[in-house]
A and B are shown apart, each in its own frame.
Chain A
Amino acid sequence: MAGIQSRRRFIATGVACALTGALAACSGPSETGSENGVVTISVNGMPPKTQPVDRKYFEEDVKAFEKDHPKIRIDAREGQMDPKTFSAKLAGGQLEDVYYVYFTDPAGLIQRRQGADISQYVKDMPYYKDIKPEFLKVFTGPDGRLYGLPNGQYSLGLLYNRDLFKKAGLDPETPPATWDEVRAAAKKISALGDGTVGYADYSKNNQGGWHLTSWVYSMGGDIAAKKDGRWKAAFDSDAGRRALQTLHDMRWTDNTMGSRQLLQIEDVQKMMGAGKLGMYMAGPDNIPTIVKQFERKYEEYGVGAMPGQATLGGGNGFMFNPKASPEKIRAGIEWVQWKYLNPDRTEFEDKRAAGSDVPIGLPLDRLFTGQAETEQDAAHAKYANVPTKNYKPFVERNGEIEQKVEPPNAQQIYTVLDGVMQAVLTKKDADLGRLLKDAAKKVDGILATVK
């Protein structure tokens, strides 16, 4: 009996040990992530294997960084901040220490305290003072603290098909600079027939709201404005009415926007890639996507600045896990600065990428001011592998128009404006004034929660 009991005890102890071991193995790295003074940080933003060249460069950079920083190890992962999985990863302790975000994300993440305050760690960061303040503002909370760093920037402009411009008798070197000119050009392009659409725009999955925001900005208006310390909807205005009227006229009077609506970015890029679309509102970063995905040539596309007075800026950057230790945050900032905010490496990176399919010379990433900006521009010009003259209309005029950021609670507002965009593009008898008035009432409710 004693033998059986001791055997049972032995088995029970073994099972308990195995379970403890398994649990310990599941619990992940230590809180500080530091072993023998070496800090391991998990970072995302690694290009997928489907982009072998970008992936190779990234892996080379990780090795070079670790050689330069023997006390930091990089655990690199694919992907970026995805709202669908973000909360689950954060709750489950699986969120990377340094995670990639779009400019649309930081406001909400900061409000929900899902990013670490990095203000105290960036004081001595090289080139920190050269970053344009408007991009740092995207990562600054209402408390004035900094919660992330930008690493890419774009402004919405007008992307167009140069071949269709030529066929329609338009000059591809001088794209439209006003909405009246856009209307006129769209008419000529649509007249080519064979299902060719002059101008297309989004109206689904919040993307319609995002673009309508840019439309209102371009007309000189605003989406939200602060009055007496409280945010209120500001688009039920002359600018808002002009934006809707122009869209409505192009869709129903000119018939230059095609009959299929409820489009989103992938649909419009497909139309552009198929050579069936003249123009659409986009940042220059859309060009490589279209070229690679639909096997087109860079020479076929041009980009002009946003018609009108102002445009909506966008971009991307990095934020830090709120549960990360100070050591990890410091190491993460080292990595972001070295890899993404490092004018000293621009020449090397451009030279390395010049012979590959990684585009150099697109009018993007103008994050710095002063000497750093001049040096980066010179390197980009020297190693450019895309037809930079096609982007001249964008570069020349984009600096003259106002660059605006998204309104607070942007995603909720975009949902409401999506409905407005859909109504204008799908209902010929849409009451534009009524649409703006009803949407403004809804947006006032959304903005009432903004602190």
Chain B
Amino acid sequence: MAAPTTLTRTPKRAAGPRQEDGVRPRPPRRRRIRENATAYAFLAAGLICFALFSWYPIVRGLLLGFQQVSFAQPATWVGWENYQRLFDDPLFATAWKNTGYFTLLALVFGFAAPFVTAVILNEFRHARSYLRMTVYLPVMLPPIVTMLLWRWFYDPGPGLFNNVLGVFHLPAQQWLESENLAMVSLVLVSTWANMGTTTLIYLAALGAIPGELYEAAELDGASIRQRLFHVTVPQMRFILMITLLLQVIGTMQVFVEPFVLTGGGPDDATVTVLLLLYRYAFVYNDFGMASAMSTVLFLVLGAFAAVYLRLSRGKG
């Protein structure tokens, strides 16, 4: 009967062999491995996949940034030369400026639009499923179809938008051909094409907010605006924080829209970081420069994520 008594005591971890403390002895290593073999096998599959398709390419990419490669001859080490050439390229600064502008606009449109849409949809009592599906529908379209559709919308001749403007006797716009409008036009496409997923996430988060909170707020005489800012937003803070982070990381890597719709024009107004990276790699076949560019992008996004999480944790 001594054993149960011993077990009720707080075990002294460092004192003597565990058997004497009454803790079950650890099985021999070989047996432990055999018992956990299935778990190790599953883990190994995942590790091998990550190592082959993520970690190895990342390390190889970092190394390529310091090499000149032709894949026909052995690679030669060139030190910081690729980075030097990258910083000397006048389009490097342009691409970052344009990407920053796109990200800013995408936050204004792309971050607010799904939230507002989700809040409005959440208020509907009828046809909610239908409306959800309608909002999500563009996400299901292949990106290239979306781009071709919007190219017709933006066509300065027979395009939809200029026809609509014409009905109201407003002047036709050069949506993609104007330096000032081109980036805004790309952001509109991107927002339309991608907001469905974020809206659904927000709708799920809205559904999880306890109804009592709204009832209590109503009893306290809170207006709709006050309920939104004092109940909805604080309750969704975590989701909003994560989607903002993902949104910034996603929009900084914008590629399809400028590639298909403007090719970086007019006059380099929509050359983005990824479009420039694509040109280095697949137009000029300069994989050293492309890798240097991707490393810079990786560092910038990594630094942003770290600072953002740090700041938001501090506030929490």
Contacts and interface: CB of A to CB of B under 8 A. Distances in A.
B227 interface: no
A322 B72 contact: yes
A323 B72 contact: yes
Interface in B123-167: 155-158
A51 B310 CA distance: 59
Given A90-B72, A114-B72, A419 B265 contact: yes
A83 B285 contact: yes
A423 B269 CA distance: 10
Given A204-B262, A264-B263, A113 B72 contact: yes
A94 to B, nearest CB: 11
Contact of B71 (A84, A87, A203, A445): A87
A108 interface: yes
Contacts of A83: 282-283, 285
Interface stretch (A17-25, A255-263, A297-305, A392-400): A255-263
A382 B251 CA distance: 59
B84 interface: no
A114 B71 contact: yes
Nearest to B91: A415
Contacts of B88: 445
B285 A422 contact: no
Given A114-B70, A114-B71, A427 B179 contact: yes
A259 B267 contact: no
A330 interface: no
Contacts of A195: 157-158
Contacts of A442: 90
Nearest to A93: B71
B163 to A, nearest CB: 13
A318 to B, nearest CB: 17
A423 B264 CA distance: 12
Contacts of B248: none
Interface centre among B172, B174, B266, B282 (most CB of A within 10 A): B266
A419 B95 CA distance: 14
Contacts of B157: 195, 258-260
Contact of A422 (B71, B73, B265): B265
Given A264-B263, A426-B179, A112 B279 contact: no
A204 B270 CA distance: 12
A412 B284 contact: yes
Given A422-B267, A427-B266, 9 more contacts: A108-B285, A204-B263, A259-B174, A415-B283, A418-B265, A419-B267, A425-B177, A426-B265, A426-B266
Interface of B: 70-73, 88, 90, 155-158, 172, 174, 176-179, 261-268, 279, 282-285, 287
Give 5 closest A-B pairs by Cβ, nearest first: A204-B263, A91-B71, A422-B265, A259-B156, A112-B70
